[in-house]
């Protein structure tokens, strides 16, 4: 077993290249759920990443060349730009706040340390700690560039979720992603078990995601990418506060 630590690093967004095109279908399960709580489609195309909620809701564009995310709401025809520097700054503020709190759970999230174990037969990996454990099944990326693209997006998406969905600090996932990038791997199943302290009671929250990777994009994928380009030109730009609070317009 190998000790794995995480450090906070401001990652510069890489200069965009054409990159590899591929498609990932993701389903998220909570606890013993038999049906997914959410599903989404993620398209990697020409150095950009397009993430679509399966229910036709929010679309997320990751644009590393411009160091930004853009969130688009098709129902309200509005969009908001979130610079990656702002997202990183928000995560750093949370890290400093967590590090200064007495709760052991928060101190761990501010500076996560894992023990790593890899099954020599299956290649499955486990990253364990008293507060958070990840179990992963993976597959090899088709190319080194695909592994880099996926790792960069996964890092920034973890930070974005901390900003927009009040999820735990992203540092633990960044540490896991670093190991995946080193090994040129893409996860096909991730099970995250978080221990939450509530007074004298500890509770476990288990979240599992399944990822199906398809190399290359089909015509439907490319149509969705083109539609995002059209929406960027047409949707009204609003502030983040307006984006989150603005009511849905009546038809």
Tens of pLDDT, residue by residue over 204-221, are 889 999 999 999 999 999
Looking at residue 226, its pLDDT comes to: 98
CA distance 169 to 176: 13
CA distance 187 to 150: 10
Mean pLDDT of 16-40: 87
pLDDT at 246 over 80: no
Q: Alpha helix (H) ranges present in 40-170? A: 84-99, 104-110, 144-164
pTM for the structure as a whole? 0.84
* Residue 134 backbone dihedrals phi, psi, to 5 degrees: -115, 135
Q: Which two tokens stand for residue 39?
A: 């599903």
What pLDDT digit, counting tens, does each position of 35-50 carry? 999 999 999 999 999 9
Give the residue extent of every domain in the chain.
10-245
Q: Which two tokens stand for residue 200?
A: 């004298």
């Amino acid at each position: 077993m190998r000790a794995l630590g995480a450090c906070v690093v401001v990652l510069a967004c890489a200069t965009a290249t054409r990159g590899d095109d591929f498609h990932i279908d993701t389903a998220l399960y909570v606890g013993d759920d038999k049906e997914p709580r959410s599903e989404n489609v993620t398209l990697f195309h020409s150095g950009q990443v397009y993430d679509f909620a399966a229910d036709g809701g929010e679309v997320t564009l990751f644009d590393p060349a411009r160091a930004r995310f853009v969130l688009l709401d098709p129902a309200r025809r509005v969009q908001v730009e979130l610079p990656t520097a702002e997202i990183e700054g928000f995560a750093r503020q949370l890290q400093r706040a967590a590090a200064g709190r007495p709760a052991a759970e928060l101190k761990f999230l501010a500076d996560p340390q894992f023990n790593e174990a890899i099954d020599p037969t299956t290649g499955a990996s486990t990253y364990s700690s008293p507060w958070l454990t990840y179990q992963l099944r993976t597959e090899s990326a088709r190319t080194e560039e695909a592994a880099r693209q996926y790792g960069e997006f996964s890092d920034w998406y973890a930070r974005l979720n901390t900003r927009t969905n009040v999820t735990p600090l992203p540092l633990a996932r960044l540490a896991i992603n670093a190991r995946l990038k080193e090994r040129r791997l893409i996860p096909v199943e991730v099970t995250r078990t978080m221990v939450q302290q509530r007074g004298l009671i500890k509770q476990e929250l288990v979240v599992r995601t399944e990822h199906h990777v398809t190399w290359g994009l089909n015509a439907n994928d490319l149509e969705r990418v083109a539609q995002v380009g059209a929406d960027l030109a047409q949707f009204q730009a609003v502030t983040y506060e307006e984006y989150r609070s603005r009511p849905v317009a009546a038809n």
